[in-house]
Amino acid sequence: MIETGICPNCRQYKACGGFHVYVVELKQGASYRFYVGHTGKTVEQRLDDNWERYGSQGNGPKLIRENFYRMRMDLVPKDSIVCSTRVDAEYREAKLADKLRADGEKVKGPKLGLV
């Protein structure tokens, strides 16, 4: 059985070649409730990068390292689980972040400006 929101074409630590939108739920008390991102890797690889590869870079990885609660792939729409291009994934990432904001959530992620 495939976990909700996980790419059915990826294998653990072996990406399918597509791009994936993901959502991280942050701990209570963090400045944001959710972090929305995209990756050309598996979601597991990207999450690992926040600790290993990007350990000292950027506000996103630091926010996730310090406030990670759990993955929320159930919030990712089916059409955003696998995107064929980075541009499409970036659009869907921003669209999902805006939707969560419209639902009243504090979200770290890009904006389309539609909200």
pLDDT in tens, 38-93: 988 887 877 777 666 555 555 667 888 889 999 999 999 988 888 899 999 999 99
Report the predicted TM-score, pTM, of the whole model to 2 decimal places: 0.84
Distance CA(104)–CA(112), nearest Å, equals: 16
Over residues 20-29, the pLDDT tens digits come to 999 999 999 9
Q: Taking phi first (over 0 means left), then psi (-120 to 50 degrees means alpha), and beta for anything else, what does residue 5 get?
A: left
The first and second tokens of residue 24, run together, are 């991280």
**CA separation for the pair 56, 85 (Å, rounded):** 28
